[in-house]
Structure 1
Amino acid sequence: MTVRIGVITFPGSLDDRDAQRAIRIAGAEPVALWHGSHDLDGVDALVLPGGFSYGDYLRSGAIAALSPIMTEVKDAAAKGMPILGICNGFQMLVEAHLLPGGLIRNHHQHFVRRDQRLIVENTTSAWTTAFTPGQEIVIPLKNAEGGYIASDETLDRLEGEGLVAFRYAGVNPNGSLRDIAGVTNDAGNVVGLMPHPEHATEAGFGPDTTAAMRSGVDGLGFFESAIAAVARVAA
């Protein structure tokens, strides 16, 4: 079975081709989708990539969340399809109310770019089963509006129900409340995070590790997890 994962391009997307490449490296078939379409082309999973959709006007991800294809994304999410929002894609998912909370300007008011240590908190979602609880991974991060916020009530629920997917380790790069780097929905099929796993899938192009420069491939686990999730459903 060939798993087909769609990557939606919005006006201002920057990392859609990177996401397609990561999917191919992980062993699935990437499918390019356009934000103005109402056709998901029969894909098994979806990625909303990073970038600056619509120039980040109004709020990051707010305009893209109203794109025509988001009607199909919401329907697919309700049916259990694995959906990953990366950086700007995460912002779209919260703006579309597919994930709780919101993203605001970094607390230091500057764009940040770094190889970021993360702690994997949830290993039961469609995008995280390749990891172990408490595992530390390194994923590139680049954002200006990456501060995760939510009400105390929502934060307590996320913590209590195990819906915090990833937490920043070592340093909180953007002021996210409770060091939250990514979350999952109740069903575990929709995940969003600010760091970019698609930039850590190929040796020679990933973060530095103790083994060698640019050898980090921790991002592969995201896509391998989704491929396994689709295969389990199909079995």
Structure 2
Amino acid sequence: MTEDKDKEFSRGQKVTDAQKLKARVEAELTAMVEQAATELAEAPDPSAWEVFAVGPYQDPGLEPGRIIELNDTAYIATVVWLNPFMDTNLSGLAGQIQLSYFTANKQTMEPVPDMNYHCCFEPGSPALVWPGVGSFYVHVWEFVPSEAACILETNICARVCNCDGEAVPGYAAFVRWVPMLDFDAFFPSEPAFTFDHPIRYLVYNNEDDTNCECTEACEEGELPPIP
């Protein structure tokens, strides 16, 4: 499958940052899979699927960052890969894939219910499809941090649901954060020890007048102001 790297939108149509980010992620996936389509097509396991996430982004044209100001908009891009057998099977069963986003404040060790989110999509819906490789589905979650914290942690879980809305046993996954979309991050060619970890980021409140915990006076000099 070949697509232009720069997605085009209809004239007069307002393009949101979430749409721009989705187009960027799809372009990066296209380049990745076209480079390594042979290796992916040789995957023997008919039940193989992967779920990855990249982010948080604040500008779809820049790389992800981990420092966000309170009340600023941010985005996390989640990618679901289904091999051809699984994609066809789920479509025939009218199944769906549910993504669940759960966020916790690691500073207080408390959940942040305002930053939990759930969505579903059907296999066969708009996706990037390569014959013999499978389908890649991209979902962009747009969120606004509701509280400041040294570290917020977002975990993303995926479940396969049947037409009755029941979770299919055995088809469950949790998202692994990746620093960029490339073949080695998705499908390492050699066995290796990997340490999966969730998406973590700092949210600061620029209007917070709380003083630092440091009690000793500086010996000399001052830090220059941040421009």
Instruction: Work out which structure has the larger RCO, using CA pairs closer than 8 Å and 6 or more positions apart in sequence.
Output: 2
TM-score by structure 1 length? 0.23
Q: Which structure is higher in helix share?
A: 1
Larger radius of gyration: 2
